[in-house]
């Protein structure tokens, strides 16, 4: 679903673009001088002039990504962040024009913004997935033009996967992602429909009746267990509670040290206590199938 700016925002964006395109270009020596003044003396006036002169570069890069359905103003703002990052890291002694260096930072910030906002579902964060996201359309268009056919074949998907160094399955997944957009579950079904898409979703959870029955059954089983435990000795109850009914299972050795017996003796007592529990609970229940919870 494309995000469209309101008319007032569109007007402000056009004015910003027009002003940026009217900024004078910098000569190489003046550009390097501005960069040195900012690097060596933190001259904010020099930084401002340097950055302002290259906002046209931000607009140029942002325009290449305008077909992803995000507001042009937002793309420009993200590009400006990249421009500022480039200015703070630029080394004027490397005999490279600032525009060449800044382009990478501008494009990176814009691409990261698109990946975060193009869909509510995470698109991918690895370098290979980013490359697939931003190159699949171009490569698909190239292949379709060459083969004079619409859509990708298995061979063409493999060709794209080999070129971008990703799996064919990743190409298929991204192809499906790019073929559709996010839709609100509150959207109406049909132009004149009254129902929303969310009304068509099935609830696979338990029904209120099942929840109530499960609660009652759990309470009943708890009563059986507590009654059976009461028939054990204090030492046997402690072993069962520490070994089976607590959040953290106490080891046989730790229990042996606490009770003053060997680890093997604790194991024997535990086994005997479990047999007593089973016998007692079976005596309480007429239908033994009630002891088990159906999945």
Q: The CATH number of the domain where 60 resides is what? A: 1.20.120.1810
How many domains are there within the chain? 3
Helices (H), 42-97: 44-53, 55-63, 72-89
Give tens-digit pLDDT for 55-73: 999 999 999 998 888 899 9
Q: Of 118, 136, 153, at which residue does a domain stop?
A: 118
> Same structural domain for residues 146 and 98?
no
> Same structural domain for residues 137 and 166?
yes
Q: The CATH number of the domain where 275 resides is what? A: 1.10.10.10
Alpha-carbon distance of 255 to 241, in angstroms, equals 11
pLDDT < 50: residue spans in the chain: 1, 182, 292-295
**Coil/strand/helix, residue 91:** coil
Residue 173: inside a domain? yes
> Same structural domain for residues 134 and 47?
no
Residue 203: inside a domain? no
> Same structural domain for residues 112 and 128?
no
> Same structural domain for residues 46 and 78?
yes
> Same structural domain for residues 108 and 14?
yes
pLDDT of residue 6: 75
pLDDT of residue 294: 46
Residue 192: inside a domain? no
Residue 191: inside a domain? no
> Same structural domain for residues 43 and 101?
yes
> Same structural domain for residues 34 and 146?
no
Residue 197: inside a domain? no
Residue 58: inside a domain? yes
Alpha-carbon distance of 235 to 245, in angstroms, equals 15
Contacts of 83 (CB under 8 A, 6+ apart): 51, 54, 55, 57, 58, 102, 105, 106
> Same structural domain for residues 4 and 62?
yes
Residue 202: inside a domain? no
> Same structural domain for residues 40 and 113?
yes
Alpha-carbon distance of 153 to 172, in angstroms, equals 10
Prediction pTM value: 0.54
Q: Of 91, 118, 145, at which residue does a domain stop?
A: 118
> Same structural domain for residues 55 and 141?
no
Strands (E), 164-288: none
Structural domain for 163, as ranges: 124-178
Give tens-digit pLDDT for 160-207: 889 888 888 888 888 877 765 545 556 666 666 667 656 666 666 677
Residue 184: inside a domain? no
> Same structural domain for residues 108 and 139?
no
């Amino acid at each position: 679903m494309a995000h469209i700016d309101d008319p007032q925002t569109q007007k402000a964006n056009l004015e910003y673009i027009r002003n940026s395109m009217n900024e004078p270009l910098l000569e190489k020596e003046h550009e390097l001088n501005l960069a040195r003044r900012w690097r060596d003396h933190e001259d904010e006036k020099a930084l401002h002039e340097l950055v302002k002169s290259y906002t046209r570069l931000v607009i140029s890069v942002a325009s290449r990504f305008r077909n992803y359905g995000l507001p042009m103003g937002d793309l420009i703002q993200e590009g400006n962040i990249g421009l500022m990052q480039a200015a703070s890291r630029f080394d004027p002694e490397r005999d490279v024009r600032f525009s060449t260096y800044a382009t990478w930072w501008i494009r990176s910030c814009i691409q990261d913004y698109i990946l975060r906002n193009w869909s509510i579902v995470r698109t991918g964060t690895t370098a290979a997935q980013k490359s697939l996201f931003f190159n699949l359309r171009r490569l698909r268009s190239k292949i379709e033009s060459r083969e004079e056919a619409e859509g990708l074949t298995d061979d063409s998907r493999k060709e794209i996967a080999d070129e971008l160094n990703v799996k064919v399955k990743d190409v298929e997944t991204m192809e499906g992602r790019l073929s559709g957009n996010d839709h609100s579950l509150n959207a109406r079904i049909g132009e004149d429909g009254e129902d929303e898409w969310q009304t068509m979703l099935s609830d696979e959870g338990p029904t209120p009746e099942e929840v109530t029955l499960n609660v009652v059954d759990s309470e009943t089983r708890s009563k059986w267990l507590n009654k059976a435990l009461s028939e054990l000795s204090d030492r046997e109850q402690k072993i069962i509670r520490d070994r089976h009914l607590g959040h953290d299972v106490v080891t046989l050795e730790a229990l042996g040290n606490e009770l003053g017996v060997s680890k093997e003796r604790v194991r024997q007592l535990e086994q005997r206590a479990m047999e007593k529990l089973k016998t007692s609970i079976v005596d309480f229940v007429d239908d033994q199938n009630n002891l088990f919870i159906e999945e």
